[in-house]
Amino acid sequence: MNPTLKDYRRYNKVMITRQLPIGSMCGHKIDPVNGPTNNCMDCWMSYWNNDANRVQIWMNVINNDGEQGLVNEFGAKQVKWFKRFLIAVKALEKQGKL
Ligand SMILES: [Zn+2]
């Protein structure tokens, strides 16, 4: 299940205005500019969760150029993790944790 553009727009507000209750419990160091180089879910969640600015930038790209715009700008790997991030947001929202 992939988030749709409608989902992106819906989560836009939530993600920019609130910190999600997801912490980096893994102890890995995250490069705040280039993002994690591993496949650790915690790291990737923190990458966006700790930086509302970054989420805003990504959302702007999505709103203007769609998902392909994101892939062009950041690469398929980051976009793949971003989708997982959004799915996690969705799950938390469903559980009433947001
Ligand atoms: Zn990690």
CA of 37 to the centre of ligand 1 (A): 9
Q: Domains of the chain: which residue ranges?
A: 1-15+39-98
Q: Answer whether 15's CB lies under 8 Å from 89's CB.
A: yes
CA of 32 to the centre of ligand 1 (A): 13
Q: What is the pLDDT of residue 77?
A: 93
Q: What is the pLDDT of residue 66?
A: 93
CA of 64 to the centre of ligand 1 (A): 31
3-state secondary structure of 35: coil
Residue with tokens 């893994």, as numbered in its chain = 26
Please give the Cα distance from 74 to 89 (Å, whole number): 20
Which is higher by pLDDT, 50 or 40?
Answer: 40
CA of 47 to the centre of ligand 1 (A): 10
Q: What is the pLDDT of residue 12?
A: 65
Give 68's pLDDT tier (boundaries 50, 70, 90): very high
- Is residue 17 pLDDT above 60, yes or no? no
The number of CA neighbours under 13 Å toward the Cβ of 47 is: 27
CA of 55 to the centre of ligand 1 (A): 19
Mean pLDDT of the chain: 81
Stated pTM of the model: 0.73
